[in-house]
Amino acid sequence: MTELFTSVAPDRRGQVIGVTARRVVLALFALVSLAALAGLIGQRPSVSAHATPAVRMTLSAPETVRGGIFFQSRVDVRALRPIQYPRLVLSDGWLEGMQVNSIEPSPASESSRDGRVVLSYGSLQAGDILRVWMQFEVNPTNVGNRSYTLELDDGDHPIARIPRTLRVLP
């Protein structure tokens, strides 16, 4: 590497170093961009499921996200028996360092239980499907792992649970 700079006239040495540094930095940005395009860096959703005699529930959400990025989580609940008071209970990691952009369909009510957000929906009959889309934006300072566990309750009685972890990259 020193031969490259010693063969250049002293007054042009700074120019060569500047051009080389710019090319290295641009190459690093290109590598990160290519890795993201190839799906190697976060954002790819994965599906987790849980079934009980009362319900089949799936959660489609990325396991890894980056700060400043928008992402979507989708919850599907298929009732196998009537559920009088369906409530989605979100662990604290769902909202820790996140901006909620939308929840569709909107719950009939929202509340809190032991620091967890509870979204209440209308009753479900056997065979009904409740599909909920949630869009979030990750705060750039929210780095680390968060609990992304989802629970479905009938009133205050848990009937299904999907344990997940969300990893947030800078």
For residue 162, give the CATH number of its domain: 2.60.40.10
Taken in order 44, 130, 91, 138, the sign of the CA dihedral is positive
- The pLDDT value recorded for residue 8 is 56
**Cα atoms in the 13 Å half-sphere on the side-chain side of 85:** 10
Q: Are residues 77 and 15 in the same domain?
A: no
* Assessment of whether the complete model's pTM goes beyond 0.85: no
DSSP state of 108: S
- The pLDDT value recorded for residue 170 is 81
- The pLDDT value recorded for residue 99 is 92
- The pLDDT value recorded for residue 61 is 95
- Report the amino acid identity of residue 167: R
Q: Are residues 101 and 149 in the same domain?
A: yes
- The pLDDT value recorded for residue 104 is 96
Nearest to 94, CA basis, from 148, 55, 153:
148
Q: Are residues 29 and 67 in the same domain?
A: no
Q: Are residues 65 and 135 in the same domain?
A: yes
pLDDT in tens, the chain (170 residues): 555 555 656 667 777 788 888 888 898 888 877 876 776 665 678 899 999 999 999 999 999 888 888 999 999 999 999 999 999 999 999 998 899 999 999 999 999 998 899 999 999 999 999 999 999 999 988 889 999 999 999 999 999 999 999 999 88
- Domain range for 148: 45-169
Other beta carbons less than 10 A from residue 144's beta carbon: 12
Q: Are residues 33 and 49 in the same domain?
A: no
Q: What is the DSSP string of 62-104?
A: ESEEETT-EEEEEEEEEESS-BSSEEEEE-GGGTTTEEEEEEE
Other beta carbons less than 10 A from residue 18's beta carbon: 10
